[in-house]
Copies of this chain bind each other. A is one copy, B any other.
Amino acid sequence: MYYETFGQMNKMLGQLDKWLDAAAAHAKTKSFEPATILGYRLAPDQFAFTRQVQITCDTVKLGASRLTGKEAPSHADTEQTIEELQARVRAVRAYLDGFSAADFAGTATRVVTQPRWEGKTMTGADYFMEHVVPNFYFHLNHAYAILRHVGVPLGKRDYLGALSLQAPS
């Protein structure tokens, strides 16, 4: 289910791309500078919108990379506009599009680490479940909540995207 879950996160990044369109349209309607939104945060000691989007992207990108060994694209954290954030989202989506189910063979038992863990490790299974998925949804939802907080017209359908509903048989 690793491959399928990264597919779902890829889908959610596609929704984030659309929220950014809605944010730009909202700024135009209200006649304010779109980049104003990028500095908003829900608490003074939480990350602002731009950083929430950057970390959403990095969580899934680095997660896929650490769980498969495939090198991830590098991003310099220099985005200043909605369009630049969209370019980052799309770059990560393109990276995720390049995976196949076979890339995740052996993922569960991989040994994963990152600098802040000071030499400690996690299994791939634990890292995926306890770190990648909850962190991805954390930053994605904080980005969404900031947009709702500043008045961008979004609803649950914009969050979830299209569901694979089947017509009554």
Chain A residues proximal to chain B, CB less than 8 Å? 1, 4-5, 8, 11-12, 42-43, 46, 117, 119-123, 125-126, 129-131, 133-135, 137-138, 141-142, 144-145, 148-149, 151, 156, 159-161, 163-168
Instruction: Tell me how far the C-beta of A63 lies from the nearest C-beta in chain B, rounded to whole angstroms.
Output: 14
The oligomer's copy count stands at 2
Please report the C-alpha to C-alpha distance between residue A138 and residue B145 in the assembled complex, in whole angstroms: 9
Q: Which of B5, B11, B125, B142 contacts A145 (CB 8 A)?
A: B142
Residues of B with C-beta under 8 A to A149: 42-43
Q: Which of B4, B46, B119, B131 contacts A168 (CB 8 A)?
A: B119
- Given the known inter-chain contacts A42-B145, A46-B148, A141-B137, please indicate yes or no for A165 contacting B8, CB distance below 8 A: no
- Given the known inter-chain contacts A8-B134, A130-B160, A137-B134, please indicate yes or no for A166 contacting B121, CB distance below 8 A: yes
Please report the C-alpha to C-alpha distance between residue A30 and residue B107 in the assembled complex, in whole angstroms: 47
* Smallest Cβ-Cβ distance to A4: which chain B residue: B129
Q: Identify whether the interface residues of A are mostly helix, strand, loop, or mixed.
A: helix
* Smallest Cβ-Cβ distance to A161: which chain B residue: B130
Please report the C-alpha to C-alpha distance between residue A131 and residue B137 in the assembled complex, in whole angstroms: 13
- Given the known inter-chain contacts A133-B8, A141-B138, A151-B43, please indicate yes or no for A122 contacting B1, CB distance below 8 A: no
- 3 pairs of A and B residues whose beta carbons are closest in the complex: A137-B137, A141-B141, A1-B1
B129 near A5: Cβ-Cβ < 8 Å: yes
Instruction: Tell me how far the C-beta of A4 lies from the nearest C-beta in chain B, rounded to whole angstroms.
Output: 6
B134 near A166: Cβ-Cβ < 8 Å: no
Instruction: Tell me how far the C-beta of A62 lies from the nearest C-beta in chain B, rounded to whole angstroms.
Output: 16
Q: A8-B129, A42-B42, A121-B166 are in contact. List 4 more A-B contacts (CB 8 A).
A: A46-B148, A120-B165, A121-B168, A130-B160
